[in-house]
A and B are shown apart, each in its own frame.
Chain A
Amino acid sequence: MLTIAGTEFSSRLFLGTGKFSSSAVMAEAIEASQCQMITVALRRVDLENPDDDIMSTLGKREYTFLPNTSGARDAKEAIRLAKLARAASGTSWLKLEVTPDPRTLLPDPVETLIATEELVKEGFIVLPYMNADPILALKLQDVGAAAVMPLGSPIGTNQGVLTEAMIEIIIEQAHVPVVVDAGIGAPSHAAYAMEMGADAVLVNTAISVAGDPVVMAAAFAKAVEAGRSAFEAGLGQSVKQASASSPESGKLSTDLGFLA
């Protein structure tokens, strides 16, 4: 069972909500994904409006609502938005996104660290979206991040886990959960991240823009589960060359008796 800030999650698939063709399709996809953590961009919803399309659709099921600060250019903007979100929704959970470049939406490491520290002090449960930088992951953890969310590849690109060498180090070093976020474009990518030992993955574009988002959501649920099981079962080591069971041909020429 995945535990973040004392809350248990039986599903290790988190969902983003921004790109669905309708709230009805989004609701069906969420159902099919069985996910229990749903992130919503604060810029897209009106938390004070009870008829808000996305919020009223989400309100019908049980899940952890993870508002995100998408669009914030610096720590100040993100903090302000987070406080307003908490005041309007009552939740302290926050996916912190500080993305000053609206084109790549890559996270700003400096401002993310500043905002995380401040928001943790203010009592937020902060899950920062970050580049796959192991030292930054440690620093975010040190200032109280409840989990870290390194990107697999640039957001919306469906390129998979291109940052795997760094994510491996983050997984090895972190004591908070590691959620691979952004770039997961196919169930196989999600399974791969889970096999590496990621605690969860967050998916949006690959599901919302799929030919059939509901079927794709179910496919991701299976992939995440399979990847996790494989990680827990212990994957066999992969080796570059085939190893012969009696390596006569490669026998070393030596005088050492114990190698003879």
Chain B
Amino acid sequence: MFHAPDFTQLSAQISATTQEDVEQALASSHLSTDNLAALLSSAAEPYLQQMAQNASTITQTRFGRTTQLYAPIYLSNYCTNRCAYCGFSADNIFKRKCLTLDEAEKEAMILHDRGFQHILLVSGEAENAVDVEYMEAIARRLRDKFAAVSIEIQPMSTEDYHRLFLAGITAVAVYQETYDRDLYKTVHLSGKKSDYDYRLETPARAAESGMREVGIGALLGLADWRAEGLAIGYHLAWLRKKFWSTSFTVSFPRMRPAAGEFEPLQIVSEQNLSQLIFALRLFDQDVGLIVSTREEARYRDGMLGLGPTRYSAGSCTAPGGYSDSSHEGEQFSVGDHRSLEEVCAAIRAKGFDPVYKDWDSEFQAESL
């Protein structure tokens, strides 16, 4: 299993790097984790322009002048975890909702009719509301209507992931939230999610189950973002070695205003986020990098082609929110409120091709 390096050591490794280390990292074609540490450091800040240029060249060479698009569907906001930062936390009092299969399909078809071919099914972590049978049933209903169906739900066993893979789920995203073991304990107050190691081992279980793509990430705003970036690098490199036939993505959820009174413990600026994205792009040329509608339109437009490869668009983060605009119970409020058409127009205006379809459900047809 993957052993996350001690978080304070990661911070120390980063702060020990010098401008010479940064220059050496920028001159390397295959970056080590030491190189990544240098690019994440404050010593790298004067080199941000060069990092952006290198990241842009790599991203466009590897992924073309394209940006992939997807939209999330929130299935349920029931949650048995108490997480200090999250709008779905069991402590927050609001009207909870879990979509029926018909409601979920209705939401999906709204996105389908808008042109989406890739959807991400999201839920709070409550097995009594959203379990493997429920997910399996949804996957079977949607698999022929979309090119790709990903999930971001509670961690599951390898066996359950395999069941969902056979039902047509393509990808699993599960974020560690923070790789800082001590802080993890203090913000995950109770519930299954409070088990750091079980969560950390989840991407490997998903990859082992046959999933084509596995997404990892950290919630930015909890611990030192530089050390989170390095931890992600170590995790990614470990996963790459062990699961060479799986595609990997990294997401960069930056804390947004949410229900509850939690204030971010760390301020992560747009410049910090950009440095993190550039550093990971230079570290791993082929990893998919996802920027969601948590970020504002202006920022997302500015980052096109510089590192990110996939954007969400037209997102609503409350269950049933596409069918009923008077919804409540969002996980967080989005920063980019544009419709899919508006996002696509901005992508085209920047000289990129918005890509709706980059997968095919037929790859998994055999398992029907």
B147 at the interface (CB under 8 A from A): yes
Known: A43-B147, A43-B358, A71-B360. A19 touches B64 (CB 8 A): yes
Complex: A43 Cα to B357 Cα, angstroms: 7
Residue numbers in A under 8 Å from B353 (CB-CB): 20-23
Could you tell me which residues of chain A, from 97 to 143, have a CB within 8 Å of some CB in chain B? 100-103
> Is the beta-carbon distance between B64 and A209 smaller than 8 angstroms?
yes
Chain A interface, DSSP helix/strand/loop, else mixed: loop
> Is the beta-carbon distance between B245 and A100 smaller than 8 angstroms?
yes
Known: A43-B357, A44-B357, A76-B366. A20 touches B64 (CB 8 A): yes
Known: A18-B64, A20-B64, A42-B360. A80 touches B365 (CB 8 A): yes
Residue numbers in A under 8 Å from B65 (CB-CB): 19-21, 208-209
Interface footprint category on B = 20 to 34
Residue in B60, B66, B245, B365 whose CB lies within 8 Å of A73: B245
Complex: A23 Cα to B354 Cα, angstroms: 10
A4 at the interface (CB under 8 A from B): no
> Is the beta-carbon distance between A45 and B63 smaller than 8 angstroms?
no
Complex: A156 Cα to B57 Cα, angstroms: 12
> Is the beta-carbon distance between B247 and A102 smaller than 8 angstroms?
yes
> Is the beta-carbon distance between A19 and B246 smaller than 8 angstroms?
no
Residue in A23, A84, A103 whose CB lies within 8 Å of B244: A103
Interface footprint category on A = 20 to 34
> Is the beta-carbon distance between A80 and B362 smaller than 8 angstroms?
yes
Please give me the residue from chain A that is nearest to B288 by CB atom: A102
Interface string of B273-316 (1 = CB under 8 A from A): 00000000000001000000000000000000000000000000
Shortest distance in angstroms between A105's beta carbon and chain B's nearest beta carbon? 9
B355 at the interface (CB under 8 A from A): yes
> Is the beta-carbon distance between B64 and A101 smaller than 8 angstroms?
no
13 A–B contact pairs at CB < 8 A?
A20-B353, A22-B348, A22-B353, A45-B357, A46-B357, A80-B362, A80-B365, A80-B366, A101-B245, A102-B212, A102-B246, A208-B65, A209-B60
- Contacts beyond the supplied A46-B117, A103-B244: 17 A-B pairs with Cβ under 8 Å: A21-B66, A22-B351, A43-B359, A44-B357, A46-B147, A46-B357, A73-B363, A77-B363, A80-B363, A80-B365, A80-B366, A81-B360, A100-B244, A102-B245, A102-B246, A103-B286, A209-B65
